[in-house]
Chain A
Amino acid sequence: MDKLKIADREFDSRLLVGTGKFASNELMAKAIEASGTQIVTVALRRVDIENENDDMLSVIDRDKYLLLVNTSGARDADEAVRLAKLSRAATGINWLKLEVTPDPYYLLPDPVETLKAAEILIKDGFIVLPYINADPVLAKKLEDIGTATVMPLASPIGSNRGITTKEAIEIIIEQSNVPVVIDAGLGLPSHVAEAMEMGADAVLVNTAIATAADPVAMAKAFKLAVEAGRVAKLSGPARAGDKASASSPLTGFLRGSENGQ
């Protein structure tokens, strides 16, 4: 499979994995391993970022995985920026998954505050991967100010409903010059394959793996689906077209006139 490039780093895997909701940290570690991922997201609120022996951080091998800290829980740009700086000071990692979600139920991202926070953080040297609604104009605005990716949601987070924002995501993929990582709501390997076939550069999955009856096996299924979808996209899929080709094409006469010359 071709490599995924985000900012100045290359990755073999196009599957990003989240660490919430697992029944135990041991199970989480095994699922991460099975997923083949190279980028693991962690909520700063959930871990003792300054403590290497933290129960969750200690099972994530930072030589093997890029630790992508997120600002889950931030209600505005101010909070997100504060969390980001704390995270960088503690870990030395300047990559950040920016989440600004003022609504505590659907956790939908605030476009205004996300853009504002991204601007501040990029100026401060962060590599920003923003979680956004599937809003093509916002995606372009973020790209313009220098985010490393855009991460539009497929459907509300944790809903496992698949790509319900399909039309907007297609536009984002078409217009984007930075990697498009589809995030949130991908509930099944088939959803992920669909995202990759649509031309997404990568996907992020958490709930669907963490809350499966067998998270390790499900992580592997997602890995395979991402690979299948990516390979399919690169193979130039046969188009689903009209039912038949007309046997008497309307423009057949043009060839006739060429022949006549």
Chain B
Amino acid sequence: MVSDEKYNGLSIAELLKQKQLDGSGDIWRARIDSVTETDVEKVLAMPTGVFNLEKLIVLISPAARKYIEQMAQAANRLTIQRFGRVVRMYAPLYVSNYCNNSCRYCGFNRTHHYQRSRLTIAQAMKEADVIASEGFRDILLVSGEDREFIDVDYLVELTKRLREKFSYIAVEIYQLEAEEYARLFKAGVEGVTIYQETYDRQQYQYWHPAGLKADYDRRLIAADSVCSAGMREIGLGVLLGLKDWRIETLAMGLHANYLMKRYWKSHVSFSFPRIRPATEVESAQFEYLMSDEYLVQMISALRLCFADAGEVISTRESALFRDNLIKTGITKTSAGSKTNPGGYSQCKDAAEQFKIDDDRSPELVTRAIKRAGFEPVWKDWDRAFVKSE
């Protein structure tokens, strides 16, 4: 099986529509349910790590549930072959929980009532000092949609300062335009994570009622902008719990393959955020909460279709579950995370984006990684890649 589809000229929106993976059609449920155990065995007999939509359908099907152990084993072998017995370590730095959006699942929702805070560059650097002192060299800047304060100039300036301490800088912030991403890349940002949250148009409208993020089509082209700006890493993700994970996985797989073919120099990685409780957000609001078992199936299925894609897991998940996930294809993990601005060094009580589950120190997390037979890697990039101005 090869990834032989040509996407010439189609935008990602057109492609999703053509495949009816934007919620515009109802063909997928039946397709997924019609997968047989024989189909699964056929795919698992040849775990090549190359994407093909038909293959992904088989691997995420209910029929494959019986084969989760085999899938995890194959994913583990493929990950070790491609990435080695290593896990990259990173930590998030939250700079603002102000937000103009009102996503119904998020603690930073503009309608929620709590003390907002944002960090000056000097305050952010204090946080960075704490993160660096724990051994981290890979940092993820996170911010709510707070364009007035956390503007592109702020991000460029902070990136330049962070380069003195960190060898890899990525951002997970509100959506920018391609030229703005290009400015960040030039300053030293190497990667951008931007979740579609859900690929289903109607669902998307429901969960994102206001703010710039309410525009599905605008959101969908974010990854194109990131890659065309020259970024090395593009992180994709769906918020697991908003809609049926199986169809979302197919859409995200198609999106990844589209990006890999069109922007061949950018590396795709996947994140697996499951809905977590947050300020004024309760789990009971969500119809499609995902089980541990299905998350393992999803992580393994994507590895078996994308041998070289990054797979990232955060401290949203429990310590025990994370320790076990290291062996199923995960290539990058955070530790000791604070998801509120100033959480590492200053205002310990500002509202978090979501509640973390694994609150172990980086030291304890790395010990667990070593016990699993993997080497925690703190540095896998160098600031020398960035051209000095």
Write the residues of chain A forming the contact surface with B, with a CB cutoff of 8 angstroms: 20-25, 44-49, 73-75, 78-79, 82-83, 86, 102-106, 158, 160, 207, 210-211
Contact B379 A104, beta carbon cutoff 8 Å: no
Q: Which residues of A contact B284 (CB under 8 A)?
A: none
Assembly CA distance A44 to B267 (angstroms): 19
Contacts of A21 in B (CB 8 A): 80, 83-86
B84 adjacent to A45 (CB under 8 Å): no
Is B265 a contact partner of A22 (Cβ separation < 8 A)?
Answer: no
User: How far is the CB of B8 from the nearest CB of chain A, in Å?
Assistant: 19
Binds A, one of B29-37, B171-179, B194-202, B367-375: B367-375
| Cα(A88)–Cα(B80), bound, Å | 31
Chain B, range 80-135, C-beta contacts under 8 Å to A: 80-86
* Cβ 8 A contact of A23, one of B260, B264, B307, B373: B373
CB–CB B382/A45 < 8 A: yes
Q: Which residues of B contact A211 (CB under 8 A)?
A: 80-81, 84-85
Q: Is the CB of B85 within 8 A of A103?
A: no
Indicate whether A83 sits within 8 Å of B375 (C-beta atoms), given known contacts A21-B85, A24-B370, A207-B81: no
**Would you call A160 and B81 a contact (CB within 8 A)?**
yes
- Cβ contact of B379, chosen from A47, A106, A210, cutoff 8 A: A47
Top 6 nearest A-B pairs (CB, nearest first) are A21-B84, A23-B85, A104-B267, A105-B308, A86-B384, A45-B382
**Bound Cα distance A63, B107 (Å):** 56
Is B380 at the interface (CB under 8 A from chain A)? yes
In the complex, whether B232 has a CB less than 8 A from a CB of chain A is: yes
Please, which residues of chain B bring their CB within 8 A of the CB of A24? 370, 375
Q: Are B381 and A73 in contact (CB under 8 A)?
A: yes
User: Is B266 in contact with chain A by the CB < 8 A criterion?
Assistant: yes
Q: CA A27 – CA B253 in complex, angstroms? A: 36
Say yes or no: is B63 at the interface (Cβ < 8 Å to chain A).
no
> B6 on the interface (CB 8 Å rule)?
no
Could you tell me if A20 and B84 are in contact, using CB atoms closer than 8 angstroms?
yes
4 further interface pairs, Cβ-Cβ under 8 Å (given A103-B264, A105-B260): A21-B84, A83-B382, A83-B385, A104-B267
**What's the least CB distance linking B67 to chain A, in Å?**
24
| Interface residue B313 (Cβ < 8 Å from any Cβ of A) | no
| Residue in contact with B82 in the complex, picked from A45, A78, A102, A158, CB distance below 8 Å | A158
**Chain A residue contacts of B265, Cβ below 8 A:** 75, 102-104
Given A21-B83, A21-B85, A23-B85, decide whether A46 and B266 contact each other with a Cβ distance below 8 A: no
Instruction: Pull 20 A–B residue pairs with CB atoms less than 8 Å apart, ordered by A.
Output: A21-B84, A22-B84, A22-B375, A23-B86, A23-B373, A24-B370, A45-B379, A46-B379, A48-B379, A73-B381, A74-B385, A82-B385, A83-B385, A104-B265, A104-B308, A105-B267, A105-B308, A158-B81, A160-B81, A207-B81
Chain A residues positioned under 8 Å from B232 (CB to CB):
75, 104
> In chain B between 45 and 92, which residues have their CB closer than 8 angstroms to a CB of chain A?
80-86
Query: From DSSP, what is the main secondary structure of chain A's interface residues?
Result: loop
Which residue on chain A has the smallest CB distance to residue B233? A104
Which of chain B's residues 210-244 have a Cβ closer than 8 Å to chain A?
Answer: 232
> How many A-B residue pairs lie within 8 Å, measured between CB atoms?
74
Q: When the two chains form their complex, are residues A23 and B384 in contact, meaning their CB atoms are under 8 A apart?
A: no
Contacts of B85 in A (CB 8 A): 21-23, 210-211
Cβ–Cβ contact B387 & A45, under 8 A: no
Query: How far is B84's CA from A160's CA once the two chains are assembled, in angstroms?
Result: 13
In the complex, what residues of A have CB within 8 A of residue B382's CB? 44-45, 49, 73, 83, 86
C-beta contact mask, B347-389 vs A, less than 8 Å → 1, else 0? 0000000000000000000000010011101011110110100
Task: For residue B88, give the distance in angstroms from its CB to the closest CB of chain A.
Answer: 10
B384 with A44: CB separation less than 8 A: yes
- CB-CB nearest in chain A for B309: A105
The CA of A211 and the CA of B382, in the complex, are separated in Å by 25
Q: How far is the CA of A105 from the CA of B83 in the complex (A)?
A: 11
Contact B375 A25, beta carbon cutoff 8 Å: yes
The answer for the CA separation of A104 and B331 in the assembled complex, in Å, is 15
Q: Please pick, from B80, B86, B374, B385, the residue contacting A79 in the complex, using a CB distance under 8 A.
A: B385
Instruction: State the CA gap A105–B84 with chains docked (Å).
Output: 14
Question: Are the CB atoms of A78 and B387 closer together than 8 Å?
Answer: yes
Nearest CB in chain A to that of B308: its residue: A105
CA distance A24 to B266 in the complex (A): 29
A residues within 8 A CB of B167?
45
Among candidates A75, A79, A82, A207, residue contacting B84 with C-beta atoms closer than 8 Å: A207
Which residues of A have CB within 8 Å of B370?
24
Give the CA-CA distance A105 to B256 in the complex, in Å: 13
Complex alpha-carbon distance, A106 and B385, angstroms: 20
Which residues from A are CB-within-8-Å of B385? 45, 73-74, 79, 82-83
B81: chain A residues within 8 A (beta carbon): 158, 160, 207, 211
The minimal Cβ–Cβ distance linking B188 to chain A, given in whole angstroms, is 13
Minimum CB–CB distance for A136 against chain B, Å: 25
CB distance from A23 to the nearest CB of B (A): 4
Residue of B nearest to A26 (CB): B375
Contacting B381 at CB < 8 Å: which of A20, A22, A45, A104? A45
B384, A210: Cβ atoms closer than 8 Å: no
What is the bound-complex CA distance between A102 and B266, given in angstroms?
9
Determine the distance from Cα of A169 to Cα of B198 in the docked complex, in whole angstroms.
48
- Name which residue of chain B comes closest to A87, CB basis: B384
B331 to chain A, nearest CB (A): 12
Q: Please tell me if the beta carbons of A82 and B387 are within 8 angstroms of each other in the complex.
A: yes
Residues of chain A with a CB closer than 8 A to B384's CB: 44, 82-83, 86
A102-B265 Cα distance, complex, nearest whole Å: 6
Interface flags for B138-164 (1: CB within 8 Å of A; 0: not) read 000000000000000000000000000
Chain B residue nearest in CB terms to A210: B84
Residues on B with C-beta less than 8 A from A45 are 167, 379-382, 385
Which residues of chain B have C-beta atoms less than 8 A from A158's C-beta? 81-82
Residue ID in chain B nearest A103 by CB atoms = B264
The distance in angstroms between the C-alpha atoms of A24 and B371, with both chains bound, is: 11
Q: How far is the CB of A111 from chain B (nearest CB, A)?
A: 16
- Report whether B377 and A46 are in contact in the complex, using a CB–CB cutoff of 8 Å: yes
